[in-house]
């Protein structure tokens, strides 16, 4: 069965973006970029909630024209080539999405996990991550905590899931400043 891997950047105070939605604070050094690319290597499909999707589709299709950062240059072609599934009740179809999931989240995600292929990479977001966590459908959590206090924004997990025990699977410091911790579903 395919796994859902949740990959997310967070501030020390537990937010995934700033008070005005800003996402200009994660620093992708060489080690963090390599870690991110390793997760993408394990996956053949990328998953997004609507909010993260809007940010991704605004950047990645033409990313090389906006940045010459090594991570951007390495990941942009992969992002364009990898099938992407967006979870949204109202998002219209676009040329970058393979599928838009609406309706019964539990049944549709169970179908995705049971289907052929390698793992599914859920990037960022708090609402979809909370919903999938509440349903027990996320298998691995990879949380990159950056050395910044944002003072507000969207929390790492939107309210909703009941308490859920996870199993610590490891932690490491990347680029001398970002702590990435992995938890597995218990």
Single pTM value for the model = 0.95
What pLDDT score was predicted for residue 138? 97
Find, among 84, 82, 85, 125, the residue nearest to 105 by Cα: 85
Considering its fold, how many domains does the chain have in total?
1
Q: Give the pLDDT of residue 30.
A: 96
Cβ(157)–Cβ(15) under 8 Å?
no
**pLDDT computed for residue 93 by the predictor:** 87
Dihedral of CA atoms 112, 115, 121, 125 in degrees, nearest 10, equals 0
3-state secondary structure of 148: coil
For residue 162, the model assigns a pLDDT of: 77
CATH code of 147's domain: 3.40.430.10
**Domain region containing 90:** 4-185
pLDDT of residue 160: 63
SS3 for 2?
coil
Ranges in the chain, pLDDT < 70: 160-161
């Amino acid at each position: 069965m395919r796994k859902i891997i949740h990959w997310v950047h967070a501030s020390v105070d537990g937010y995934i973006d700033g008070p005005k939605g800003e996402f200009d604070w994660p620093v992708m050094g060489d080690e963090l970029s390599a870690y991110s690319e390793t997760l993408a290597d394990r996956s053949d499909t990328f998953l997004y909630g609507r909010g993260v999707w809007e940010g991704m589709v605004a950047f990645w299709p033409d990313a090389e024209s906006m940045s010459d950062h090594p991570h951007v240059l390495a990941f942009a072609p992969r992002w364009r080539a990898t099938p992407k599934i967006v979870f949204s009740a109202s998002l219209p179809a676009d040329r970058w999405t393979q599928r838009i999931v609406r309706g019964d989240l539990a049944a549709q995600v169970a179908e995705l996990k049971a289907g052929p292929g390698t793992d599914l990479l859920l990037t960022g977001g708090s609402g979809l991550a909370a919903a999938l966590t509440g349903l027990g459908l996320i298998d691995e959590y990879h949380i990159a905590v950056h050395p910044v206090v944002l003072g507000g924004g969207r929390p790492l997990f939107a309210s909703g899931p009941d308490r859920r025990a996870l199993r610590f699977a490891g932690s490491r410091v990347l680029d001398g400043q970002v702590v990435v911790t992995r938890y597995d579903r218990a």
